[in-house]
Structure 1
Amino acid sequence: MVAIIANAAPGKKSRRFALLMAARDSEYVLKRYGGYRNVFVAAFGDAGETWDLYRAVDGELPDTGDVEKYDGFVISGSPNDAYADDEWILRLCRLIRDLHAQRKRVLGICFGHQVICRALGGRVAKSSTGWDIGIREVAVANLSLPRQCGFLEALRDQLPPRAKITEIHQDEVWEVPAGAEVLASSAKTGVEMFRVGEHLLGIQGHPEYTNDILVSLVNRLLGAGSITVSVAEAVKRQLDATGPDREFWLKLCKSFLKADESYSI
Structure 2
Amino acid sequence: MSSPPLRLAILEADTPQPQTRDRYGGYTGVFTALLGAAAQSLSPPQKLDELVSIKGYDVVNKLHSYPALDDIDAVLITGSRHTAFDSDPWIINLVNFTKLAIDSGRVKVVGVCFGHQIIGRAVGAPLGKSDKGWEVAVTDVALTAKGKEIFGLDKLRIHQMHRDILFDFPADSIPLGSNDICAVQGMYRPGSYITIQGHPEFNAEIMSEILFNRHTVGIFTDEVYEDGMKRTPIPHDGVAIARAFLKFMREG
Which bin holds the TM-score, normalised by the shorter protein?
A: 0.7 to 0.9
**TM-aligned CA deviation for residue 71 of structure 1:** 1.4
Give the SS at the match of 2:191: coil
For the residues of structure 1 that align with 2:248 and 2:184, how far apart are their CA atoms? 18
What is the letter of the counterpart of residue 135 of structure 1? V
**2:10 counterpart of 1:19:** yes
In structure 2, relative to structure 1, the CA distance for the partners of 1:223 and 1:157 (3 Å cut) is closer
Deviations 1:104-157 (A, max 9, x none): 1000000000011011111111011100001111111023xxxxxxxx8xx828
Deviations 1:169-220 (A, max 9, x none): 0001102222122111112110100113321111100011111001111011
**TM-aligned CA deviation for residue 99 of structure 1:** 0.8
- Determine the structure 1 residue equivalent to 2:44: none
- Contact 2:151-2:244 within 8 A present in 1 as well: no
- Contact 1:180-1:195 within 8 A present in 2 as well: yes
Among 130, 138, 141, which residue is 1:138 paired with?
A: 141
Worse overlay, 119-128 or 196-205: 196-205
- Contact 2:207-2:232 within 8 A present in 1 as well: no
- Determine the structure 2 residue equivalent to 1:182: 175
For the residues of structure 2 that align with 1:253 and 1:105, how far apart are their CA atoms? 10
Among 162, 165, 175, which residue is 2:158 paired with?
A: 165
- Determine the structure 2 residue equivalent to 1:244: 236
**TM-aligned CA deviation for residue 11 of structure 1:** 4.7
In structure 2, relative to structure 1, the CA distance for the partners of 1:11 and 1:159 (3 Å cut) is closer
- Determine the structure 1 residue equivalent to 2:132: 129
- Determine the structure 1 residue equivalent to 2:77: 75
**Paired residue total:** 238
- Contact 1:108-1:203 within 8 A present in 2 as well: yes
**2:96 counterpart of 1:94:** yes
What is the letter of the counterpart of residue 96 of structure 2? R
For the residues of structure 2 that align with 1:12 and 1:202, how far apart are their CA atoms? 25
- Determine the structure 2 residue equivalent to 1:259: 251
- Contact 2:135-2:163 within 8 A present in 1 as well: yes
TM-score (norm 1): 0.84
**2:120 counterpart of 1:117:** yes
In structure 2, relative to structure 1, the CA distance for the partners of 1:164 and 1:157 (3 Å cut) is closer
Q: Which runs of 4+ in 1 moved over 4 A?
A: none
For the residues of structure 2 that align with 1:167 and 1:60, how far apart are their CA atoms? 29
Among 36, 39, 42, which residue is 2:33 paired with?
A: 42
What is the letter of the counterpart of residue 124 of structure 1? L
Give the SS at the match of 2:49: coil
Give the SS at the match of 2:56: strand
For the residues of structure 1 that align with 2:226 and 2:5, how far apart are their CA atoms? 45
**2:22 counterpart of 1:31:** yes
What is the letter of the counterpart of residue 161 of structure 1? D
**TM-aligned CA deviation for residue 12 of structure 1:** 5.7
**TM-aligned CA deviation for residue 258 of structure 1:** 1.8
- Determine the structure 1 residue equivalent to 2:54: 51
Give the SS at the match of 2:232: helix
- Contact 1:19-1:75 within 8 A present in 2 as well: yes
Give the SS at the match of 1:32: helix
For the residues of structure 1 that align with 2:10 and 2:232, how far apart are their CA atoms? 28
In structure 2, relative to structure 1, the CA distance for the partners of 1:50 and 1:247 (3 Å cut) is closer
**TM-aligned CA deviation for residue 165 of structure 1:** 0.5
Aligned CA-pair RMSD:
1.9
For the residues of structure 1 that align with 2:21 and 2:85, how far apart are their CA atoms? 28
